[in-house]
Structure 1
Amino acid sequence: MSANSADGTGQADGVLDVVLVKGGRTKIRYPAELLSDDGTRITVRAPWAGDTVRDFGFVRFEAGDVFTEYFWRDRWYAVKEVRDAGGHLKGWYCDVTRPVVVGGGEVVVEDLDLDLWRSADGSDVRRLDEDEFAASGLAERDPEAAARAVAALDELEELARADGGFGTLTA
């Protein structure tokens, strides 16, 4: 499969900054290795960017974890494959986002509060942060975006519960 870089050179090497924006503010910025960019989907890999362990109860993100992240310019979500330091799959963490914007050495992702987790074996699929989404006021400010966000979460859950999981998206 041929890959194109974010700058259109056709090369899939280099480093981009992933910029996660939430509520109009940069929540986190971290460097990621560009793996591929086909003009619609961009794939990057980065180590866990948090300063500390993040324990959700159902999964822990910690030093040594590696995230292979898939972003789309035409979809309202991002899918992140999470592996531990030994390469063992922990699962997939999915963010509902506006379609990604790529340029100037950055991948800018606007987080819309809704998330989904799928464990490696598929036995645990859970919707996350629906209370944060409701409290965000997006439904009042931008009803169309809110409807797209809810539809994206529904699509992610359907994919997560399917036999192939996210394989069709990340292959």
Structure 2
Amino acid sequence: MAPGSEVTVLLVKHPRPDVRYPALVDGDDGTRITVRAPWAGPPSRDFGFVRFERGDVFTEHYWRDRWYSVKEVRDGRGALKGWYCDVTRPAAVRDGAVVVHDLDLDLWLPADRSAPLRLDEDEFLASGLAERDPAAAARAREALDELELLSRDGFAALLGG
């Protein structure tokens, strides 16, 4: 994927509706794909631990060989809000889209790098993945643990920053 090219990000969220939105490619080294996208949800959404709003910019990192993505979130003025991480199957590129299968586990690290929040473990349990695909469920839990460890330095070791 060439830097500056347009791409669609497709988050497959079975059984819930998929989420798709446009982004611009920042880079693709063959393993990691980095895109930049504006907040694609409603004008404002308060999660309790952070509010995403129109004007927020997400720099999203997807790996073809890792079971997660890391999204740096900045407000419209460029101030860091934090990092939102999705546990997913490894990313694939198909038909001009970055395709990731969301596995319901998430992690939020606020900009001040205080304690990371593990999110949506109830949704993960309710998804039935552990019964349908125990190996994938185990990889998902390992990925969440890895994200928590990597969050200690604000993902600098992972993202090279």
Cα distance between partner residues in 2 of 1:114 and 1:33: 25
**4+ residue runs of structure 1 moved beyond 6 angstroms?**
none
Q: Hey, what's the Cα distance between the residues in 2 that align with 1:125 and 1:84?
A: 19
1:167 to 142, 146, 156: 156
Given that 1:20 and 1:26 are in contact with CA atoms closer than 8 Å, whether structure 2 keeps it comes out as no
The TM-score with structure 2 as length reference comes to: 0.96
| Aligned-partner Cα distance in 2 for 1:31–1:82 | 16
Q: Is it true that 1:123 corresponds to 2:81 in the alignment?
A: no
Distance 1:165 1:32 in 2: 23
TM-superposition CA deviations, 1:44-100 (whole Å, max 9, x none): 000000023110111000100000000000000000000000000000000000000
Deviations 1:79-131 (A, max 9, x none): 00000000000000000000001122100010000000000111131100000
Please point out which of 16, 39, 54 is paired with 1:63: 54
Counterpart check, 1:48 vs 2:55? no
Q: What's the secondary structure of 1:149's corresponding residue?
A: helix
Residue pair 2:13, 2:19 contacting (<8 A) in 1 also: no
- Tell me how many residue pairs correspond in the alignment: 160
Displacement of 1:39 in angstroms is: 0.4
Deviation at 1:37, TM superposition (A): 0.3
> Taking structure 1 as reference, are residues 80 and 117 closer, same or farther at Cα in structure 2, changes over 3 Å only?
same
Is the contact between residue 105 and residue 123 of structure 2 (CA under 8 Å) also seen in structure 1? yes
Q: What residue is the counterpart of 1:22 in the other structure?
A: 13
C-alpha RMSD over aligned residues: 1.1
Q: Deviations over 1:8-46 (max 9, x none)?
A: xxx312100000111156521111000000000000000
In the TM superposition, residue 165 of structure 1 has moved relative to its aligned partner by 2.1
Give the Cα–Cα distance (whole angstroms) in 1 for the partners of residues 23 and 78 of structure 2: 17
Tell me the TM-score normalised to structure 1 length: 0.90
Q: Quote the residue 1:152 is aligned against.
A: 143
